[in-house]
Structures are given as C-alpha cells and as structure tokens.
Amino acid sequence: MADWEQHGKLVLVKDGKIFIGTEDIVGISFRVRELVDLNLHTPEPKVAPAWATKW
C-alpha cells in the first residue's frame, strides 16, 4: 500500500514496515528509506468495553 503525504513524500507500507520515498533530483531518481519496522510489536488482546459491543 502507498499514498502521497501532505508534503509530497510517498509513504509505503510493506511486510510490517513503513517507508518514506523522496525524489533525489526532480523527476530523475527516487530514494526510499525505512522509517520503522513494526514486526516485533504484537498487540495485546483486550476485551471490548460494553459500549463498543453494540451498534
């Protein structure tokens, strides 16, 4: 998945990692760097509060 952010950078998500892409030289090359690797983070199971169990 990818989308452009408000400052013109491309934000990419792949394999549990978030990347940012920027142009090196206008229209010539593109640099992508890793911002964060979320693979080691595991969510803790939580019971939903009563108000969130009904529409």
Boundaries of domain holding 22: 2-38
pLDDT tens digits, residue range 3-15?
888 888 889 999 9
CA nearest neighbour of 13 among 29, 36, 31: 36
pLDDT tens digits, residue range 20-54?
998 877 767 888 999 999 999 888 999 999 999 98
Can you tell me the distance from the alpha carbon of 55 to that of 53, in angstroms, rounded to the nearest whole number?
Answer: 7
Q: In sequence order, which ranges of 1-55 are alpha helices (DSSP H)?
A: none
Can you tell me the distance from the alpha carbon of 42 to that of 21, in angstroms, rounded to the nearest whole number?
Answer: 26
Q: Give a yes or no: residue 16 inside a domain.
A: yes
Q: Give a yes or no: residue 6 inside a domain.
A: yes
Q: Look at the chain and report how many structural domains it folds into.
A: 1
pTM recorded for the entire structure? 0.64
